[in-house]
Structure 1
Amino acid sequence: MSYDTIIKAGRWFDGAGSASAIRHLGLRGDRVVAVSVAPLDETGCAQVIDAAGKWVVPGMVDIHTHYDIEVLKTPELTESVRHGITTVLLGSCSLSTVHVGGTDAGDLFGRVEAIPRKHVIEAIDEIKTWNSAHEYVAALEQLPLGPNIAALLGHSDIRTAQMGLDRATRKEVRPTQQEMAAMEAALNEALDAGFVGMSAQQLMFDKLDGETCRSRTLPSTYAKARERRRLNAILRRRDRVLQAGPDVGSPRSLAAMTLSTLGIFRKRLKTTLLSAADIKATPAVVHIMGPIARALNALGGDFRWQHLPVPFEVYADGIDLVIFEEFGSGAAALHLADEIERNALLRDEDYRRRFRQDYEAKFGVRVWHRDFFDAEIVSCPDDSVIGKTFGQVGLDRGGLHPVDAFLDLVLAHGTKMRWRTTISNHRPEFLAKLGADPGVQLGFSDAGAHLRNMAFYNFGLRFLRHARDAEQAGRGFISLERAVHRLTGELADWYGVDAGHLREGDRADLVVIDPAKLDASLDDYAESPVAQYDNLSRMVNRNDGAVSAVFVGGTYVFGNGTAAPVLGTTRTGRFLEAKAR
């Protein structure tokens, strides 16, 4: 029996949590055809990879990305593939590009996901040939996809397409019966096309870009209970997924979205919510995430939180960062796209007084800790402030309030002043607790969005390092087999797609990892230009020694820091349809 590829003598993980073992894998076409204790016959095999001393794991699944725009022009999605991600899920946070046109897509994605609006519009206007989910899938399949693609249909997408962006973002407007029926038809059609479900949003600091509806929240946030119930009923009936973000400031919103999973007198609804985190601003919340999930599932639900299993460190250029959207004075500044108008506002003493009041309001649920003593300046034309916090700069300037120190530097240097802070997941013991919790899914990378603000493309490798290091130190919180399962088969099975496993007959999507290279360099910050966004510099992580080889559909696409010639020129990934249940 001949093979296209043999991967020999690696420590093999099946993605189902079974015990790992030294095995020899034979690949033919897009499938694993042999997992053998004994060495395989290499006669006629074009490619043999020696994986001795390395791990051979299923390709990892990224369940929360915003690659909806990037995939259209650079479908290889190299930044995820290079870190062992072989399946990505599009359509998060109520946003997708199935039904809306270019301008509406630009308004939906531009500000909330920090993807340059003009490039969103250009990509959709230049490339879009589809008017339905089936046509969208067909268009994706014509692209030279690097990883596999699965998709959610965005509620804001279909609401905008049926009602128009202006009507879809007015509190007093409800969809007509015809518009509601059209949204239901669009959702059913997407599920027929293999979409894994729908994403919705109630988070109130996700704001629109553009001019017509600027600073209104996303269309999905305007839906009332009846509209949500009708769409959720379709997902229940079809056993598909609801991904949603509750309004963190509204207990009613959180209760409605969590309790929607329950199947009392009806089918349960597979529900995943954003997000489980150890938030600096509200440290007590981390203690209730697991119990909430366990209680809901014990009552008959099928509920998961999404969780980023690494510290949530963010960077910002000046004041351009989504966390400022969560309070009035910050949102007022981001509302002003014109730099002259914005600077005039930042100089105004009444405005500064409001900003200081918002900054000092420490009570209530919030995302940002609002502590400028916990915000370090990493680059600035004024070398004297680099390495200092805004709080320290204020002290150095005669006891200036931290808010005034921050605003003064923004006025002086604009986006040339770059700073960072860690919002959540800063305590290793709680990262371990959430990482092992069965009511929590690992993901929430936001890959493809916030290009200047965050870089979590290698979250899977960093989680495996955490699990390995804890085990070696005698503080193990999860076995390596279970850690691999959490990043692969567990996710693929829950979303119902053909991915995440590495057994005979499974898709040959796999990663060869050198565990000796899972070191501190995984955390290193680098930048790489994105050609399709006028070479905008994207934050990335680079540890090219950790991943020796990546295969998608049986084809070698990346390894040791270098893309194979096929990546981006030949279709290796495919659209993964949700399995009928």
Structure 2
Amino acid sequence: MPKPFDVVVRGGRWFDGTGAASAVRDLGIEDGVVTAVSARPLHAREGGRTIDARGRWVLPGLLDIHTHYDAEVLLDPGLRESVRHGVTTVVMGNCSLSTVYATPLDCADLFSRVEAVPYDCILDALTAHRSWDSAEGYVDALDKRPLGPNVAAFLGHSDLRAHVMGLGRSVDPKERPTERELRRMEELVAAARTAGLLGLSTMTSPFSRLAGDRYRSARLPSTYASWGEYRRLHRTLRRTGGILQSAPNPAMPLNTLLFLAAAAGRARPALRTTLLTAIDPKAAPGLATALTRTTAVTSRLLGTDLRWQHLPVPFELYSDGIDLVVFEEFGATAAALHLRTEAERRALLLDDGFRKRFRREYRRPLPPRAWHRDLYDAEIVSCPEPGLAGRSFGAVADERGQHVVDTFLDLVAAHGTRVRWRTTLANHRPAVLDRLAASPVVQFGFADSGAHLRNMAFYNAPLRLLKRVRDAERAGRPILSAEAAVHRLTGELGAWFGLPAGTLREGDRADLVVVDPAGLDDELAAYHEAPVAAYGGLSRMVNRNDAAVDAVCVAGEVVFEAGKFADGYGTTRATGRFLRHGEVTR
């Protein structure tokens, strides 16, 4: 009889994350590592755990490669909203934003408005918990927190620039870093790489603004950099084997071509690059096809290793009034977002000149924006005025005999954030999503977990992809095999990002999720809210489809089971750890 194990996962359909054929197996776990995968029954030692996975899928823990948990991980290291949906590894520090070098006050200014996270909570989290003054210190500090999932991170260029130049100079369009400052940036990127950070994240899209009082409404520091500054930092990434994460400016096609050229690798080492985003927007229906086809061609011709992050579900957004990042795209509404009080905003929204400006921008078709600019395609969820919920702004405008912009502004001026509404910006065509799911230049990510807390919830996006794959197979029109889909959500991401995560073979760390395929149902797309204690009880949009996930293990410990987290999870004991880029465990 085989020796007993600390934990046995019994009789599930096991996927190893490599794309290999699945099979019904028992898994034996000792000291947090998978030590046996067996077609014969295994047994837990006395006092050990047995997870009955019969009729279930046993997958490697899912990876979320695009999060903004940088402050939340200090306040609530369990990161429960991700983990309850099977995510066991998260990547932070995206979109040029991190908390490695900049001061707590600078980080609050950088993060709060663009990621729609409470300003005071960011400031308080960093003021209370920041104990580091280097990248290595940052990694050590996170490793000392009672982490629930594993964590990996990029260094953010806006963080870096604010630290080296000072936030004021870093957002002054007339200022450029000195040669000494450029060299210091290169040194700090190299130090971050030595500490195990994945690489550097930058931002060239101009629609991300600072919060706070000092430099309110300035763009993120990374957007003020010249391409020469980017090139110098790219060279450091190439030299150290690092990864670049960024977001091109969608209104400037040349900007995307510069990234494709920067990633080229025929005459030099390729710069591994992951960009936002392979999306099918209503405002630009051919964008996803153009991006993926161009990237596939440059990959063959120039030897690029570039991927587009993709959210494999409809991109549905909710908004309280005008508190939505897409309104940063327009001069009129960006001016309204610059104002801090409801009274100031109300006065501006009622101003005739403001309304004329917004109507002009609303009608203007070019350049393309993220928002489709169609208030007929925007449903009111709740409003103090009776009879409006469930109707579009356009329908209400027609009834009132108004221009739809005037109806929208009237309601927001009268009720502010109490007007809650929703729209789908992109990924509304299933056939396009199916094509993107099979594209080799697409990465599954961009959930923005931990950000836009009142605007969207894509924490369970990997489970929703598995549902689509299973439903398509049942309908006789397969998109991917189940094994290929699991691989794309796990092992493919772990290997590309150079992380010891995403596979579930003998010798692998026992990060896994037990999925009930019967729970992959329409509830996955349902809308829920829940208070966030770490953010002062703010009601956050969440996914609560716990019927899909029976259990989650991190390092062999059952941290979530039957809809509940284990005692002490994320508070008194750590199950996750900081994963260093290039770390090898096998």
Give TM-score, length-normalised by structure 1. Answer: 0.99
Mapped partners of 1:360, 1:391: distance in 2: 14
1:446 is the counterpart of 2:412? no
The partner residue of 1:387 within 378, 387, 390 is 390
Mapped partners of 1:68, 1:286: distance in 2: 29
Cα offset, 1:45, TM superposition: 5.9
Please say which of residues 313-322 and 355-364 is displaced more in the overlay. 355-364
The partner residue of 2:229 within 227, 230, 245 is 227
SS where residue 16 of structure 2 aligns?
coil
1:196 is the counterpart of 2:198? yes
1:520 corresponds to which letter in structure 2? D
Equivalent residue number for residue 310 of structure 2: 307
1:267 is the counterpart of 2:269? yes
The partner residue of 2:252 within 250, 253, 261 is 250
Mapped partners of 2:502, 2:190: distance in 1: 26
Aligned runs of 1:177-216 on 2, under 5 Å?
A: 177-216=179-218
Equivalent residue number for residue 475 of structure 1: 477
1:390 corresponds to which letter in structure 2? F
2:146 corresponds to which letter in structure 1? P
Aligned runs of 1:70-89 on 2, under 5 Å?
A: 70-89=72-91
SS where residue 529 of structure 1 aligns?
strand
1:291 corresponds to which letter in structure 2? R
Equivalent residue number for residue 378 of structure 1: 381
Equivalent residue number for residue 424 of structure 1: 426
1:340 is the counterpart of 2:343? yes
Equivalent residue number for residue 364 of structure 2: 361
Cα contact 2:318–2:456 (8 A) shared by 1: yes
Equivalent residue number for residue 542 of structure 2: 540
Equivalent residue number for residue 112 of structure 2: 110
CA deviation string 1:505-530 (max 9, x = no partner): 00100000000010001111111111
Cα contact 1:3–1:45 (8 A) shared by 2: no
CA deviation string 1:179-218 (max 9, x = no partner): 1111111111110011111100011101111122111110
SS where residue 404 of structure 1 aligns?
helix
CA deviation string 1:36-95 (max 9, x = no partner): 011113453611111111000000000000000000010000000000000000100000
- Structure 2 portions without partners, runs of 5+: none
Cα offset, 1:325, TM superposition: 0.5
Cα contact 1:557–1:566 (8 A) shared by 2: no
Equivalent residue number for residue 61 of structure 1: 63
Equivalent residue number for residue 498 of structure 2: 496
Cα contact 2:4–2:42 (8 A) shared by 1: no
Cα offset, 1:292, TM superposition: 1.8
Cα offset, 1:259, TM superposition: 1.8
2:496 corresponds to which letter in structure 1? W
SS where residue 384 of structure 1 aligns?
coil
Mapped partners of 1:246, 1:63: distance in 2: 18
1:159 is the counterpart of 2:161? yes
Q: Over aligned residue pairs, what C-alpha RMSD do you find? A: 1.1
Mapped partners of 2:312, 2:497: distance in 1: 19
SS where residue 467 of structure 2 aligns?
helix
Mapped partners of 2:256, 2:244: distance in 1: 14
CA deviation string 1:543-569 (max 9, x = no partner): 111100000011100022111113112
- Structure 1 portions without partners, runs of 5+: none
Mapped partners of 1:179, 1:161: distance in 2: 10
Mapped partners of 2:230, 2:263: distance in 1: 13
1:571 is the counterpart of 2:539? no
SS where residue 547 of structure 2 aligns?
coil
Aligned runs of 1:40-55 on 2, under 5 Å?
A: 40-44=42-46, 46-55=48-57
Please say which of residues 12-21 and 113-122 is displaced more in the overlay. 113-122
The partner residue of 2:152 within 150, 172, 196 is 150
Cα contact 2:243–2:271 (8 A) shared by 1: yes
2:346 corresponds to which letter in structure 1? N
Cα contact 1:315–1:454 (8 A) shared by 2: yes
Mapped partners of 1:64, 1:101: distance in 2: 23
Cα offset, 1:12, TM superposition: 0.2
Cα contact 1:296–1:303 (8 A) shared by 2: no
Equivalent residue number for residue 467 of structure 2: 465
Cα offset, 1:174, TM superposition: 0.9
Equivalent residue number for residue 331 of structure 1: 334
The partner residue of 1:527 within 518, 526, 529 is 529
Mapped partners of 1:306, 1:139: distance in 2: 29
Cα offset, 1:32, TM superposition: 0.3
SS where residue 114 of structure 2 aligns?
coil
Mapped partners of 2:28, 2:299: distance in 1: 39
Mapped partners of 1:41, 1:125: distance in 2: 48
Cα offset, 1:580, TM superposition: 6.3
Give TM-score, length-normalised by structure 2. Answer: 0.98
1:347 corresponds to which letter in structure 2? L
The partner residue of 1:316 within 316, 319, 323 is 319
The partner residue of 2:411 within 403, 406, 409 is 409
Mapped partners of 1:452, 1:409: distance in 2: 19
Cα contact 1:5–1:45 (8 A) shared by 2: no
